Chains A and B, each alone.
Chain A
């Protein structure tokens, strides 16, 4: 009904967290059930829908050929956009993306870019002249909290399953709709983003809308496993309350523990599509 949450809900969320449970019966460090669906959009090079509890988000990859940037003559371009559609929640309005959506898109972009997940040099067709432009478009279908982690999962799975479209070098056009057998060039790293929220002195992950609304601070980490060690490649702090060093340590430990779980989700989804 309302955008703001009531005083009673605030009190009881805190009371619940003190007792170590959440409104939906989960533990503080538990994700909701995650499911993955492929082929949401016919025209995209790859499209994925991720459901995390009631949160639903789709990500699509679309590619075309363009010019490289001056500082990366032999590398492809990555353009990530995220839109929080008004139909997904009463909190979002139509119009140009608001600060929340811009921030989330940038965090996802940074997580993908800095983890070394994409092999940018393989996206180069002719150095200094032609490279692939990669568009990652993410849309929220239902925002029931924890959007960032779900959106990042969708983006990673979409990239892992994308095929390059055919490029006709003579005519210099991309033949959309004709996919080659070449996989989108990714390395064997698998990045995930895990966001810890501070709510009433407790650290939780995968919040519901109420918990997200009343959280005092949040901290996102982009992680990937490199040579059997989990490395942090990016991070983002949100909201205006400070986090103590213990709390930051707690979120790091938590994300390290949770990495395996999200990795499992990605792995299972990709193995599932290979079988078909």
Chain B
């Protein structure tokens, strides 16, 4: 997020795959770009972002790519003898081993903790060729209970969270709901009242519609004022 502040002066531009973003040996290719001779060429559709010498792409579309440390929301798709298979909405399956649960779970009681079609908040502990390893050891991780789940484009997750979490804390504060944002685009909203949950849901829908406005957090505050009337 610090990098973004530095590059405010440089205008971000929409690029398509194959487009030459900058040319010159002094630049370094970052995420979503590659070097072709002297040029830095885009590999994805998104906004080009130059911070110093590093050039990267902020993607606007495409599937979620799993990274170590990401918090995601997944759906249990199967039980095996030593863990759960979790559908994250990506090509490869997630796997939560029994050993990665915070307490001891008997192999025979696995279905009591997570059965098929249950949702969980989990952290990605590693990405390997055969799959994605998950863990639920940690604060805020575990089973999703009560509340509603909404699905957004995973590329808009950073906007929903905002700079240092400013946007998401604003929505949490104004709606009074607990919100967990999974990096894969699933969002869990849990509030005391149904109206609160719908308010939070509409707020997230508003951000999803308008992702390119500067000072979105301020606009959001105005939006809440109007909604409360």
Q: Which residues from B are CB-within-8-Å of A16?
A: 194
B66 CB to closest chain A CB (Å) equals 13
Beta-carbon contacts of A25-55 to B below 8 Å, as 1s and 0s? 1000000000000000000000000000000
Quick check: A23 and B151 within 8 Å, CB to CB? no
Q: Which residues from B are CB-within-8-Å of A7?
A: 115, 117-119
B34 CB to closest chain A CB (Å) equals 29
User: Could you tell me the distance between the alpha carbons of A240 and B146 in the complex, rounded to whole angstroms?
Assistant: 28
Quick check: B118 and A6 within 8 Å, CB to CB? yes
Quick check: A19 and B194 within 8 Å, CB to CB? yes
A4 is an interface residue with CB less than 8 A from chain B: yes
Quick check: A2 and B75 within 8 Å, CB to CB? yes
Which residues does B use to contact A, with CB under 8 Å? 75, 87-89, 115, 117-119, 144-149, 151, 184-186, 194, 198, 201-202
Query: In the complex, which of the residues A4, A6, A15, A19 contacts B149, with contact meaning CB atoms closer than 8 Å?
Result: A6
A195 CB to closest chain B CB (Å) equals 24
Quick check: A1 and B147 within 8 Å, CB to CB? no
Q: Which residues from B are CB-within-8-Å of A15?
A: 194
Known: A1-B186, A2-B87, A25-B202. A12 touches B146 (CB 8 A): yes
Q: Which residues from A are CB-within-8-Å of B146?
A: 8, 11-12
A173 is an interface residue with CB less than 8 A from chain B: no
A5 is an interface residue with CB less than 8 A from chain B: yes
Q: Which residues from A are CB-within-8-Å of B184?
A: 1
B179 CB to closest chain A CB (Å) equals 14
User: Could you tell me the distance between the alpha carbons of A15 and B186 in the complex, rounded to whole angstroms?
Assistant: 20
Query: In the complex, which of the residues A4, A5, A9, A21 contacts B194, with contact meaning CB atoms closer than 8 Å?
Result: A21
Q: How many contacts A-B (CB < 8 Å)?
A: 50
User: Could you tell me the distance between the alpha carbons of A9 and B148 in the complex, rounded to whole angstroms?
Assistant: 6
**4 pairs of A and B residues whose beta carbons are closest in the complex:** A1-B89, A6-B119, A25-B198, A7-B117
B75 CB to closest chain A CB (Å) equals 5
User: Could you tell me the distance between the alpha carbons of A12 and B191 in the complex, rounded to whole angstroms?
Assistant: 12
8 contacts between A and B (CB under 8 A): A2-B89, A4-B75, A4-B117, A5-B117, A8-B147, A19-B194, A23-B198, A23-B201
Nearest-CB residue, chain A, relative to B198: A25
Quick check: A12 and B198 within 8 Å, CB to CB? no
B147 CB to closest chain A CB (Å) equals 6
Quick check: A8 and B202 within 8 Å, CB to CB? no
Quick check: B119 and A8 within 8 Å, CB to CB? yes
Query: In the complex, which of the residues B75, B88, B185 contacts A6, with contact meaning CB atoms closer than 8 Å?
Result: B75
User: Could you tell me the distance between the alpha carbons of A7 and B147 in the complex, rounded to whole angstroms?
Assistant: 11
User: Could you tell me the distance between the alpha carbons of A23 and B194 in the complex, rounded to whole angstroms?
Assistant: 9
User: Could you tell me the distance between the alpha carbons of A16 and B148 in the complex, rounded to whole angstroms?
Assistant: 10
Quick check: A12 and B119 within 8 Å, CB to CB? no
Q: Which residues from B are CB-within-8-Å of A1?
A: 75, 87-89, 151, 184-186
Quick check: B148 and A12 within 8 Å, CB to CB? yes
A210 CB to closest chain B CB (Å) equals 9
Nearest-CB residue, chain B, relative to A4: B117
Q: Which residues from A are CB-within-8-Å of B117?
A: 4-7
Quick check: A21 and B151 within 8 Å, CB to CB? no
User: Could you tell me the distance between the alpha carbons of A9 and B188 in the complex, rounded to whole angstroms?
Assistant: 10
User: Could you tell me the distance between the alpha carbons of A111 and B180 in the complex, rounded to whole angstroms?
Assistant: 46
Known: A1-B186, A21-B194. A8 touches B151 (CB 8 A): no
Q: Which residues from B are CB-within-8-Å of A21?
A: 194, 198
Q: Which residues from A are CB-within-8-Å of B149?
A: 6, 8-9
Q: Which residues from A are CB-within-8-Å of B118?
A: 6-8
B114 CB to closest chain A CB (Å) equals 10
A140 CB to closest chain B CB (Å) equals 19
Nearest-CB residue, chain A, relative to B202: A25
Query: In the complex, which of the residues B89, B144, B198, B201 contacts A8, with contact meaning CB atoms closer than 8 Å?
Result: B144
Quick check: A8 and B87 within 8 Å, CB to CB? no
* A-B contacts besides A6-B149, A8-B148, 13 pairs, CB < 8 Å: A1-B184, A4-B117, A6-B119, A7-B117, A7-B119, A8-B146, A8-B147, A9-B148, A19-B194, A21-B198, A23-B198, A24-B198, A25-B202
Q: Which residues from A are CB-within-8-Å of B147?
A: 8, 12
Q: Which residues from A are CB-within-8-Å of B148?
A: 8-9, 12, 23
User: Could you tell me the distance between the alpha carbons of A19 and B191 in the complex, rounded to whole angstroms?
Assistant: 15
Nearest-CB residue, chain B, relative to A16: B194
Q: Which residues from B are CB-within-8-Å of A6?
A: 75, 117-119, 144, 149
Quick check: B185 and A8 within 8 Å, CB to CB? no
Residue of B146, B148, B186 most packed against chain A (CB within 10 A): B148
